[in-house]
Structure 1
Amino acid sequence: MALKMTILVENHLSPHAAVGIQSRAGLSILLDDGESRILFDSGPDDTFIHNAGLVNEPLTNLDAVVLSHGHYDHSGGITSLSPGTRIICHPGVLRERYAGLRLPGKVIPLKKLSVTERFRGLNVEYSKTQRVVAGRFIWSGEIPVENPKPWGYIDDNSATPDYVSDEGVLIWCSSRGLVIMTGCGHRGLENTVRHCINITGEKRVYALIGGFHLRAASPLKLIRLKAFLREIAPEQVLGCHCIGRWGKMWLRNTHPVACGDTIIFEE
């Protein structure tokens, strides 16, 4: 069995992309192992549907859609899906969140980061804990972090920090180890991988794919991350979306993927 991964939305356009493919700041990945078809994230709008049509990948026969977290660039396109589509995500995905300037006792919102429209008409399954999505695919549930870092605010009136506790990942269990797909990696790549190992019992990591949120990471954090990657020794590291040029510079063995790319993971 092999896993076919099609990048439907990503910040950059692949040189191998089909004619007419459009890139967007966000992420949406279609996964198909011959038994299950899973959409991981939807990007910011309906671009993922447009691009799927151009590469002859219909989104009408999905087993599920898994949302990594509630930021609009990962879940904004969800309202373009057919009514009744099965969605799996953390219950915190519906929180209103903002990037803003903090002042004493309040926050001045600068940008809304959450989805304006709710998931009306969709078959949403909320879960804080891990669950089987379909076949070999597993939703990680909430990723524990000892000292989480805030990324914006929940409710600009209360100035509550947003630790993006709703962020989870999608796991594909292969005979060569775990294939782990991250949305942004707000909870930390090391925390994320260790959580996936704990809930599956599988210590081997075949591939890490997705956003690693390293655009402004400190050199110390990146040195520690490099040491961790040497420890777990994944066969492939495919960074995209929010890894940033800074992250790519430090993780030189990371292979970039972009909108329109198709990658096959052989067992």
Structure 2
Amino acid sequence: MIHKNSVCLTVLCENSIGRPLAAVGEHGFSCLIETASGAYLFDTGQGFGLLRNARALRKDLSAVKKVIISHGHYDHTGGLPDLLSATGEIEVVAHPDIFIDRYWAGQGPTRYIGIPFKRPYLESLGARFRFESGFCEVAPGLWLTGEVPRLNPVEKPEKNMVRVMDDGSRVQDSLTDDLSIVIESAKGPILLLGCAHAGLINIMHHVRECKGWENFYAVIGGTHLVGADDDRVAATIEALEEFSVQRIGTAHCTSLPRAAQLQAHFGSRFLFASVGAVLEA
């Protein structure tokens, strides 16, 4: 039983497993949000572990009332068909750009990294898309950040991610569809990140601008500090302190070295948000 204003977050998909479970790790992210108004799913991982890990953690995905997608990459959307097999028809909240064709053009061969499925296929399985690009409330006490202004100079876009334009040309992907969720809890606002391509500092300042909140109880999810230089990491730590964050749970695209650096700084305030991690507030 979730009491009024109480929140329970459970990581269902992530790169690693943090405790003995009959579960699997995968490069991706998914988090179940349980509130007094119901259960909501943020992202679906790649699709290898969503259903299995939910069973291992005794979470009933058929009870999920709504799905929120952080952005249109395969490792956050690949589990949609499996989820829809459990839920049937359900609202899927996302940015209108999630179906853009996207590629990784870094070391090694160029590869497709966009959403693996066409919209008509997902709709045939029961997805009912609701596209949002602005800050809005998507469920009681759950706020979608919408597009986040990229203002901080240390949080630069990734040059190895490209998108395909209408004329077939490829340009750097600004990932304007990168969305996060803010959850109102008894202990204060919780910021839930998918990959934070928009930059964690930018996201926190954007939420402050939209809601007036000066502090966060917790920040959890992918911070995309993998590949970040020392100046960006230092600025991120400074911003987390500025917002008086009491619980920092990193996952997925943070990278183990940067997660270890954050753990060394924040000590008991830190947790590894791997499969099975739970945050209650």
Select 1:149's aligned residue among 127, 149, 157. 157
CA deviation digits over 1:64-100, x for unaligned, max 9?
A: 1111101100111112233421110101111110011
CA deviation digits over 1:144-186, x for unaligned, max 9?
A: 1136513511028412110111001011012432100101111
Determine the structure 2 residue equivalent to 1:66: 68
1:113 aligns with 2:113: yes
Which blocks of at least 5 consecutive residues in structure 2 are unaligned?
Answer: none
The answer as to whether partners of 1:63 and 1:134 remain within 8 angstroms in 2 is no
Q: Give me the whole-angstrom Cα distance separating, in 2, the residues matched to 1:50 and 1:84.
A: 21
TM-score by length of 2: 0.86
1:169 aligns with 2:177: no
TM-score by length of 1: 0.90
Question: How far apart are 1:109 and its partner, in Å?
Answer: 6.0
Q: Give me the whole-angstrom Cα distance separating, in 2, the residues matched to 1:59 and 1:200.
A: 30
1:207 and 1:101, CA in 2 relative to 1: closer, same or farther beyond 3 A? closer
Question: How far apart are 1:11 and its partner, in Å?
Answer: 0.3
Q: Give me the whole-angstrom Cα distance separating, in 2, the residues matched to 1:237 and 1:34.
A: 23
1:250 aligns with 2:261: yes
Give the fraction of aligned pairs with identical amino acids, expressed as a percent: 24
The answer as to whether partners of 1:172 and 1:179 remain within 8 angstroms in 2 is yes
Question: How far apart are 1:223 and its partner, in Å?
Answer: 1.6
70-79 vs 248-257, greater mean Cα deviation: 248-257
1:52 aligns with 2:68: no
Select 1:3's aligned residue among 7, 12, 16. 7
The answer as to whether partners of 2:44 and 2:83 remain within 8 angstroms in 1 is no
Q: Give me the whole-angstrom Cα distance separating, in 2, the residues matched to 1:247 and 1:46.
A: 26
Determine the structure 2 residue equivalent to 1:105: none
Determine the structure 2 residue equivalent to 1:99: 104
Question: How far apart are 1:46 and its partner, in Å?
Answer: 4.8
1:36 and 1:85, CA in 2 relative to 1: closer, same or farther beyond 3 A? same
Q: Give me the whole-angstrom Cα distance separating, in 1, the residues matched to 2:277 and 2:247.
A: 15
CA deviation digits over 1:77-131, x for unaligned, max 9?
A: 11223342111010111111001159xxxxx961111122124221110010122
Q: Give me the whole-angstrom Cα distance separating, in 1, the residues matched to 2:93 and 2:209.
A: 21
**Runs of 4+ in structure 1 over 4 Å off:** none
The answer as to whether partners of 2:14 and 2:25 remain within 8 angstroms in 1 is yes
1:101 and 1:259, CA in 2 relative to 1: closer, same or farther beyond 3 A? closer
Q: Give the match's secondary structure for 1:142.
A: coil
The answer as to whether partners of 1:36 and 1:135 remain within 8 angstroms in 2 is no
Q: Give the match's secondary structure for 1:49.
A: helix
The answer as to whether partners of 2:6 and 2:186 remain within 8 angstroms in 1 is no
Q: Map 1:199-218 onto structure 2 (within 5 A).
A: 199-218=210-229
Q: Give me the whole-angstrom Cα distance separating, in 2, the residues matched to 1:46 and 1:245.
A: 22
Q: Map 1:167-246 onto structure 2 (within 5 A).
A: 167-246=178-257
Q: Give me the whole-angstrom Cα distance separating, in 1, the residues matched to 2:13 and 2:67.
A: 14
Q: Give me the whole-angstrom Cα distance separating, in 1, the residues matched to 2:231 and 2:146.
A: 28
Which blocks of at least 5 consecutive residues in structure 1 are unaligned?
Answer: 103-107
1:202 and 1:175, CA in 2 relative to 1: closer, same or farther beyond 3 A? farther
Q: Give me the whole-angstrom Cα distance separating, in 2, the residues matched to 1:81 and 1:226.
A: 35
Question: How far apart are 1:233 and its partner, in Å?
Answer: 1.3
How many residue pairs get matched? 258
Determine the structure 2 residue equivalent to 1:136: 141
1:127 and 1:109, CA in 2 relative to 1: closer, same or farther beyond 3 A? farther
Q: Give me the whole-angstrom Cα distance separating, in 1, the residues matched to 2:240 and 2:8.
A: 24
Q: Give the match's secondary structure for 2:70.
A: coil
The answer as to whether partners of 1:98 and 1:113 remain within 8 angstroms in 2 is yes
Determine the structure 2 residue equivalent to 1:33: 35
